[in-house]
Amino acid sequence: MKATRQDMTRGRRAARRLAVSASLILGLALAGCGDSNPLNPDPTPTPTPAPSKANVTMNLASVHIDVGTLPGYAFALITNLHLIEGAGVAATIDYIRLDVFLPDNTLLERTQISSGQITGGNALAASGVRDFASLALGFNSDIVTGRYVIVSVATTDSHGNAQVSSSGQLIFG
């Protein structure tokens, strides 16, 4: 069958429509690209959300036991305590506690320094650091091989979230 002039005209029109449609689709697709396209203005960056709670960590250094150093106690654990708030939320120190345990994990004795007894106040600034040099935590339990102590620091942040950071077991040897 031979193509008529009318068929060829229809074919050219269809080809033009297809080319125009492809150009329009390509133009719309490219409108989404680029830095200053009015059809797609730069989106507003999403702000980083503020931290919801404090993240307090602690380190102990130069830990040793003294005899008769602290009035009212037979022994004192002496340490340099280093507190770090790493999330950017201020906190208050509720207590610094010393727990003495038997080798079978039974709590034998607990002593603590309350917030009102903390030298220099109990504030820990957002992203702040507090150092307690030669901090003395008293106890009366005998130093027996296998017993151990754990030092804990409890804080409450400015949003009301409570946290307890603890050392590992410091074993009497």
Task: Return the pLDDT at 45.
Answer: 77
Encoded tokens for 68: 């008769």
What per-residue confidence (pLDDT) applies to 28? Answer: 47
pTM comes to: 0.72
Q: What percent of the chain has pLDDT over 90?
A: 68
Of 102, 144, 82, 94, nearest to 118 by C-alpha is 94
- pLDDT given for residue 173 in this prediction: 85
